[in-house]
Amino acid sequence: MAGALGGLLIFFSSLIAVVIFGLLTLSYAAHGYLAIVEDTGAGSDDVRWPDESFTDFIWKPFYLAWVVAGPVVVSWFGVMAIVPQLLDGPLGMFVAVAAALWLLFPIFMLSSLSGRSGILVLHFALLARLIRHPGVLLLFYLLSGPVLAAGLALVYFGLFGSVLILPVAVPACVSLFFIHARLLGRLAWCISQGAAPKKATSKKRRKRVKTKTSDPWAVPDEELEVFEEDENAQAVADPSTHITARDPRTLPSPHALKAGPPPAPVEEEEDEWAPRKKPYALAADEASIPRSEQLAERVIAAEDVIAAAAPHVADADALPKTDTLFPPDPRFLKPPEPPPRFTLFSNVWSFPVNGSSLRPFVQLIFMGTILVIFLRLMLMTRPT
C-alpha cells in the first residue's frame, strides 16, 4: 500500500513537471523553428535570433499546433474514407499521420506565413508558385523525408528505449529539427525568387469628348490685344514711365532708427514728498549708443562665451555626419547576403552548429533532455 502510494505521488509530481517544463521547452522550440524559417525565407544566411522574453513567444507552440492539426485531420479523413482497416494494424494512424506531415505540413506552414492571416492554412497563390518550381519542390521532399523519419524514430527510442541512448538521441533530434526548418526556409526563398509580376488588365479606352465652356464675365480676346498694344505704345512714347529695379536691401527699413542725436532728457524739479511718476533717464554715454548696436554687442559677447565653452575641433569634416538624431544600428545597414548557389545543400546540414545557431541549439538540447527524463519517469510510474 505504501509503495503504491509513493509511486502515485511520483507520477503526479512528474506529471506536473512535464506540464510546466514541457510548455517552456515547446515554446522555445516553436520560437526557434519560426525564426529559422522566416529569416532563411527572407534570404538571410545567418539567422538573427530575436531577444524576446518567454511571455512574447508563449503563443507560438499553439500556433504550430494549429498548423500541424491540418495534416492530421486530412490524414484521418483520408484513412477513414480509403483504407479504414489500417486502424487495426500495429502502428495504427502513425504511418498516415507521418506521411501527411511530410507532404502537407510544408504547404500549410508556408501558406500560413505568406497569407493575410496566420489562421488560414491554405494559400492558393503559394500553390501556384510551388507548381512553377517542381524541381526544387521534389528535391525538398526527397531531403526532408529522411529527416522527418529519423526524427520520429529518435523520439520513439528516446521515450521507450534504453536510457543510454538519450545522450545521442536528444542532440540528434534537435539537429534534425533545425535542419528541417532550414530546408523549409530555403524552399520559401527559392519559390519567392520566381514570382511572376501581375499582368496589367486591358481596359477599353473611352473616346474623349471635347467640351467647350464660356465665361460670361470674360473679355473678348480682340479687346485684350488692343489694350496691350495701347499700353506698349504709351510706354515707348513716355520713357519716364519706365520703372528701374532696385536692390531690396538698399531700401530703407520702416523699423530702422532715425539718425541723429537722441533727445535730451527733460529735467524736472524733484519733490521728495511726491511719488516718482517717470523712470530715471539714461546716462549720457548709454543714451548716445543706438539700441541696435547695443543688441549686436550683446550677441557677439554671447557667441564668444559659447565658443569658449565648446570643445575645440581641429577639423569639422572629421566629425560623423548623420541625417537623424539617433544614428541607425550598423548591423541593419548591411543587406543580408543571398543564399549560396546550392540552396538546399550549402550551410544546411551544418547549420545547427554554425554562427549564431550554436547557443540556441545547446539550450534546446539541455531543455529537451530534462523533458525526456520527466516523461520517462512519468511513464514508469503511471498507474496500471
What distance in Å separates the CA atoms of residue 345 and residue 144, rounded to the nearest whole number?
A: 12
Average pLDDT, stretch 183-211? 67
DSSP string, 107-174: HHHHHHHHSSSTT----HHHHHHHHT-HHHHHHHHHHHHHHHHHHHHHHHHHHHS-GGGHHHHHHHHH
HEC string for 81-109:
HHCHHHHHCCCCCHHHHHHHHHHHHHHHH
pLDDT at 323: 47
pLDDT at 319: 47
- The answer to whether residue 73 scores a pLDDT higher than 80 is yes
The distance from CA 203 to its chain's CA centroid, rounded to whole angstroms, is 37
- For residue 16, give the C-alpha cell: 506536473
- CA 14-20-25 angle, to 5 degrees, is 110
- The answer to whether residue 325 scores a pLDDT higher than 50 is no
pLDDT at 324: 47
- 203 versus 153: the higher-pLDDT residue is 153
Instruction: Express each pLDDT in 86-124 by its tens digit.
Output: 767 656 677 888 888 899 999 999 988 887 877 878 888
Rg for the chain (alpha carbons), in Å?
42
For residue 304, name the pLDDT band (cuts at 50, 70, 90).
Answer: confident
Instruction: Express each pLDDT in 249-290 by its tens digit.
Output: 555 555 555 555 656 655 556 556 655 555 555 444 555 566
Query: Are 157 and 170 a contacting pair, CB within 8 Å?
Result: no
- For residue 190, give the C-alpha cell: 527559392
